[in-house]
Amino acid sequence: MIGISSTTLLVVAVVVLIVAVVIVLLAVRSRSRGGATPAAPVRTGPASPTAIVCPFCKREYEPAETDRRCPGCGAAAPRGR
């Protein structure tokens, strides 16, 4: 049997552990950078001039097409419109 001291084994184990940690960190860093997608544009209001955004469920709908009720939650359309 080859005579390997416990100090040598400890040094080898520490080096292997450091290499493994570096490999994992590089993999995580490259994965987080590569998957970036551009953010979707934020709309500021309804697409149609007569559309209403429901104040409760935030769904956009046409009051004339849905009998003045939100198709998502059933809330009535605001009277001011």
How far apart, in Å, are the Cα atoms of 55 and each of 17, 18, 44, 60, 65?
55, 54, 14, 10, 18
Per the rule left: phi > 0, alpha: psi between -120 and 50, beta: everything else, 74 is left
Distance CA 59, CA 52 (A): 8
Q: What is the pLDDT of residue 3?
A: 78
pLDDT of residue 14: 97
For 8-62, write each residue's pLDDT tens digit. 999 999 999 999 999 999 988 887 766 556 677 776 666 677 888 898 999 988 8
pLDDT for res 45: 63
**How long, in residues, is the chain?**
81
pTM over 0.95: no
Place of tokens 């001011």: 80
pLDDT at residue 52, rounded to an integer: 87
